[in-house]
């Protein structure tokens, strides 16, 4: 496993951002919009990787945390006219607060119990949004970040503006997360996941460390929720169905939950699946009811196949194969 020097890694992120910037000027509108979706999914999936792969907790309720972020950003924007940048920070803070509450509960639960509890939350929470008039009921709220600044030129489109915002947010949060995961906290999480008792004997407060993981993961999820509602333009209960939580989990498993470096794989796949499903449906001339259900079918099938055959994700698989080859050479 090679490690970059910190400054080198920062340069790498900046270079990647620059490439994205060049790309965004060359591709058409649809691709730019998909790019924005990929950036949003990258953030959401990395929050699940942090939680599941590093600290070993399963959450099926991340859709609910995304919803918290999206709603709080929209309320801050509509009711209090907060600047857009601050809205995103508010989304992070609100979702992180929800994450603390959930994390305190989660730290006392193990595996299937936590999964079931968060599942119940994911089903329950969005329906609560209908109860408060400030949240706009079934129609939801409008979340408008405004037009791109004029200084960017006349023909700078709205979608490109979305892409810039979400790609920048994704780059910054990836940079921060990769550092957090390498830090003492990241090591504590992994220790607690591998062997809780051993970690405790080594002086790690595993309960507190789990709550911290949940909080950070929730904050990141909140950011992606706010960005998601930015690209859609509205926030409503139906934008955060149980299927969203499931597809995020699928994205995380596809990327390989034990490492952050594969996160693009999952995000690109999630965005590509509807298109692939379209192509397949056209090719076989499927009826409408099959066409609408094909994306869901592909997502779930991929999830099962990955869990069965590449449980640690393609990146880790590649790494361990390389390590094996090296060993054989030495012998």
Partner 1 sequence: MIQLINTLLIGITAGSIYALMAIAIVLVWRSTRVINFAQAGMALLSTYFGYEAMVHLNSFWIALPVAMIGGAAVAAFIELVFMRFLLKRSAHGAISGVAPIIATLGLLGVIRSLTSSIWGGQDVRIVGPVSNVGYSLGANTLAFSPLKLLILVTVIVLVLLLSLLFQKSNMGLSLRASAFSPEIARLSGIRVNGVRTLGWSLAGASGAVAGMFQTVNGNGSFSPDSIEFSLLLVSGFIAAVIGGLDSLVGAVIGGLVLGLVISFVLMYINSSLFFIAPFVILLIVLFVRPQGIIGAKAARRA
Residue with tokens 């309320």: 75
Q: Smallest Cα–Cα separation from 214: which of 69, 56, 72, 68?
A: 56
For 53, 58, 117, 188, 319, the CA distances from 2, given in Å and listed in that order, are 20, 29, 39, 21, 11
Question: Scanning residues 118 to 177, which ones bind partner 1 (CB under 8 A)?
Answer: 119-121, 123-125, 127-128, 130-131
Least separation in angstroms between CB 54 and partner 1: 10
Task: Please give the residues from 271 up to 300 whose contact with partner 1 meets the rule CB under 8 A.
Answer: 289-290, 292-294, 296-297, 299-300
Whichever of 23 and 119 has its CB closer to partner 1, that residue is 119
Smallest distance from the beta carbon of 232 to partner 1, in angstroms? 20
Cα 149 off chain centre by: 28
Instruction: Map residue 13 onto helix, strand or coil.
Output: helix
State yes or no: residue 248 binds partner 1 (CB under 8 A).
no
What is the pattern of x (binds partner 1, CB under 8 A) and - over residues 35-74? -----------------xx--x-x-x--------------
> Cβ neighbours of residue 305 under 8 Å, at least 6 residues apart?
none
Torsion over CA: 79, 84, 87, 91 (sign): positive
Rounded CA separation 118/40 (Å):
22
Shorter beta-carbon distance to partner 1: residue 219 or 237: 237
Residues that bind partner 1 (CB under 8 A): 52-53, 56, 58, 60, 105, 108-113, 115-117, 119-121, 123-125, 127-128, 130-131, 193-194, 242-243, 246, 249-250, 253, 257-258, 289-290, 292-294, 296-297, 299-301, 303-304, 307-309, 311-312
């Amino acid at each position: 496993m090679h490690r970059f020097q910190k400054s080198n890694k920062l340069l790498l992120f900046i270079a990647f951002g620059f490439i994205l910037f060049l790309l965004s000027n060359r591709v058409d509108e649809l691709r730019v919009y998909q790019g924005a979706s990929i950036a949003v999914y990258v953030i959401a999936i990395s929050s699940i990787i942090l939680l599941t792969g590093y600290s070993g907790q399963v959450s099926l309720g991340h859709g609910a945390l995304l919803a918290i972020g999206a709603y709080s950003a929209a309320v801050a924007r509509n009711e209090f006219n907060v600047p857009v940048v601050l809205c995103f920070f508010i989304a992070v803070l609100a979702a992180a607060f929800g994450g603390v509450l959930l994390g305190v509960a989660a730290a006392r639960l193990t595996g299937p119990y936590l999964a079931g509890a968060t599942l119940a939350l994911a089903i329950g929470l969005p329906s609560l949004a209908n109860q408060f008039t400030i949240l706009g009921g079934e129609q939801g709220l409008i979340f408008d970040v405004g037009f791109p600044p004029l200084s960017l030129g006349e023909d700078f489109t709205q979608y490109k503006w979305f892409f810039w915002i979400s790609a920048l947010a994704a780059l910054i949060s990836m940079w921060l997360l990769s550092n957090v995961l390498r830090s003492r906290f990241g090591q504590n999480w992994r220790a607690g996941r591998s062997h809780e008792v051993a970690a405790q004997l080594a002086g790690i407060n595993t309960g507190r460390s789990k709550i911290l993981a949940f909080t950070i993961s929730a904050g990141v999820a909140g950011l992606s929720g706010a960005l998601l509602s930015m690209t859609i333009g509205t926030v409503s209960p139906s934008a955060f169905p149980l299927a969203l939580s499931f597809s995020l989990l699928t994205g995380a498993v596809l990327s390989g939950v034990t490492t952050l470096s594969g996160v693009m794989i999952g995000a690109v796949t999630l965005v590509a699946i509807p298109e692939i499903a379209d192509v397949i449906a056209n090719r076989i001339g499927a009826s409408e009811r099959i066409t609408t259900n094909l994306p869901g079918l592909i997502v779930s099938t991929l999830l099962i196949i990955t869990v069965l055959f590449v449980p640690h994700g393609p990146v880790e698989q590649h790494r361990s194969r390389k390590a094996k080859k090296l060993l054989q050479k030495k012998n």
